[in-house]
Amino acid sequence: MIALYQDAAKAFPVTGSGDPVGAIVLTGGTITEFAQTTAANRPIYRTDGTYGWLEFNGLSQWLEASHAQLAYPYTMAVAAEASNPGQNGAVLSLFGVDAGHQILSRPGNLWTLGTWNRSQQYEELFVSAVAGSPHVLLGQATSVELRVSVDGGADSTEPNATPHGTVTKLILGQRGDDKNFYFGRIFGAVFINRLLTEGEKGDVRAKLASASGATLI
């Protein structure tokens, strides 16, 4: 279950479209809460009566959770719709002082799964998607390979030689050092500190598609 609050102190629940989101409380999993203590930096909850999403302005809005991820592998998945195909934007990212890992929207209707560290080692795997509609991105990373797919299509793969580093945050809406703010909608996100089976990946994609209206291949 998920509960949304307008403030980081969780005093005021989100009650309708247009409310800011200062905290997300999760009742399952190892990551239990995302928060944003600064009011101006909170994304906005929107709904059209069928789907609900967090809307990020691409300038200043994000939510973060404490999460110490020390090694590969991991799985990241999001249902998202980018608003500006000319802007970089980190949808879901792991971040620490020496490393980062992220699903990123890129100019030209591209999405990426990327890893980087402070010595500027960087691996980035590009996949394309149609602008103006929601998509389900699922990426998996090991110490030797990046793998990502759009809407349940075939995986794209690329070697990964970037050390994992020490990350301490899981972030929705930006990279983690006030860079690559996301401009668009996030309907749902999943992070798991292991690889998923094909059946599990199918379940995750189906749930994210149901939450967003994305069409799976």
pLDDT of amino acid 101 = 95
- In degrees and rounded to multiples of 5, residue 210 shows phi and psi of -65, -35
User: What CATH code would you report for 48-212?
Assistant: 2.60.120.200
H runs (alpha helix) in the chain: 198-212
CB 101 within 8 A of CB 213: no
pLDDT band for position 124 (cuts 50, 70, 90): confident
Residue with the two structure tokens 């906005």: 44
pLDDT band for position 120 (cuts 50, 70, 90): low
| pLDDT tens-digit readout, 7-36 | 999 999 999 999 999 999 998 777 889 999
Nearest to 139 by CA among 95, 100, 101, 181: 101
Of residues 83 and 39, the one with the higher pLDDT is 39
Q: How confident is the model over 133-142, as a mean pLDDT?
A: 95
pLDDT at residue 46 tops 80:
yes
Neighbours of 115 (CB within 10 A): 24
Domain ranges of the chain: 48-212
Task: Identify the bridge partners of residue 33 per DSSP, sorted by sequence position.
Answer: 25
Instruction: 4-10: list long-range contacts, CB under 8 Å, 24+ apart.
Output: 4/45, 6/42, 7/39, 8/35, 8/36, 8/37
- How much of the chain exceeds pLDDT 90, in percent? 79
